[in-house]
Amino acid sequence: MKSLYAKSPAELEKILKLEKSYQAKQIYSWLIKGVTDYDKMTNIPKKVRDDLKEHFPKAISSKIVKVQKADSATKLLIELYDESLIECVMLTDGDNRKTACISSQVGCAMGCSFCKTGTMGLVRNLEDFEIVEQMVHLRTLAEDITHIVFMGMGEPLHNFGPLMSAISEFHRSEGYNISMRRMTISTSGLVPGINKLTELNLGIRLAVSLVSANNELRSNIMKVNRSYPLPELKKALISFQHTMGKRITLEYCMLSGVNTTKESAKELSQFTKGLMCVVNLIPWNPIDELEYESPTESEIRAFTRELDSLNVSYTLRMTKGRSISGACGQLATSTRR
């Protein structure tokens, strides 16, 4: 077994072959606090600790190898048990609210043309404990992380089982106890995954990377649209909203001269009709390998004026973490350390 994380106290009791169930609860409590050194689990009998060290020498499978801080964002480079590398980010807003931006895969198979992670291709899915361990590492920076967004490396709905297991662990009342409404899954538009979420009716929030409401343009920018075009996506979103009753966020990465025209605004307005949603405008974050450009301030103002005239509800996201390549679309690593 590679890690003790993403296991309930009952599972730990069985796996560790503990004679007393309360010891599993004690070990679980230490793990949630980020204590992975058995000798520091001071309320556990020495014999039990020695047994743990002998049979399960490592409680955690990953480690931090690099920390970068800037712009109210802190990015961690994490080395996994097989030496694969991922990144996760802690974001702090103006109200000092802290959000963990967590990865779900090493690389990504979606190949969105504006995203650096997509240049890696998919190396592998993360296991549930690897998703949870990112929170363990981020909490070494600040224990008061209250929100989680699955917006790091990878397409979360492409790794559905481990994602759901990790979400269940984050939600566990005796653990991190993070409410479903404080967790957001961001997807490129994998319709089958959205439909699965609808069936589960978890109460979790959904964000969709839309980028364009023009079907042909979106297919050129995002390969996922070739399999699940905009009409199918909208149908799935309406179904999700009907079941969940929650507002959906449409992430709109602004690409200069590509999706910032008056016609783009009109298409976006049309797509939002019938949806309870807010459009999150995100000026593209520069990536050396890609040929897009960030919109100018005047271009952004012109686009938002057009949205105002069309009564489209939107927010304009302030860029965080751009200087450390920790902003949206900038996360990527080498395959190995």
What are the average pLDDT values for consecutive 10-residue runs of the chain, which has 337 residues?
96 94 97 97 95 95 95 93 96 92 96 89 97 98 95 97 98 97 97 98 96 98 97 98 95 96 98 97 88 93 97 83 47 51
> How high is the pLDDT of residue 224?
97
Distances (CA, A) of 168 to 8, 96, 333: 10, 26, 27
Distances (CA, A) of 327 to 53, 119, 178: 39, 16, 24
The answer to whether 328 is a known catalytic residue is yes
> How high is the pLDDT of residue 335?
52
Tell me which of 13, 79, 87, 251 is the catalytic residue.
Answer: 87
Amino acid at residue number 55: H
Shared domain check, 284 and 211: yes
Cβ neighbours around 129 below 10 Å, total: 23
Shared domain check, 38 and 158: no
| Residue 277 near residue 313, CB atoms below 8 Å | yes
Tell me which of 88, 101, 112, 328 is the catalytic residue.
Answer: 328
Tell which phi-psi region holds residue 289, choosing left (phi > 0), alpha (psi between -120 and 50) or beta: alpha
> How high is the pLDDT of residue 118?
84
Shared domain check, 123 and 272: yes
Shared domain check, 265 and 210: yes
SS (H, E, C) 14-50: HHCCCCCHHHHHHHHHHHHCCCCCHHHCCCCCHHHHH
Q: What's the half-sphere exposure (Cβ side, CA atoms, 13 Å) at 284? A: 24
Shared domain check, 179 and 34: no
Cβ neighbours around 54 below 10 Å, total: 8
Within-domain flag for 268: yes
User: CA 198 to CA 45: how far, in whole Å?
Assistant: 45
Number of structural domains, the chain?
2
Distances (CA, A) of 136 to 76, 146, 200, 282, 324: 12, 13, 26, 28, 21
> How high is the pLDDT of residue 327?
46
Whole-model pTM? Answer: 0.92
Shared domain check, 291 and 221: yes
Within-domain flag for 111: yes
The CATH number that applies at residue 108 is 3.20.20.70
Within-domain flag for 154: yes
Q: Which domain holds residue 315?
A: 63-324
**Coil, strand, or helix at residue 236?**
helix
Shared domain check, 48 and 145: no
The answer to whether 277 is a known catalytic residue is no
> How high is the pLDDT of residue 326?
44
> How high is the pLDDT of residue 336?
52
Shared domain check, 147 and 51: no
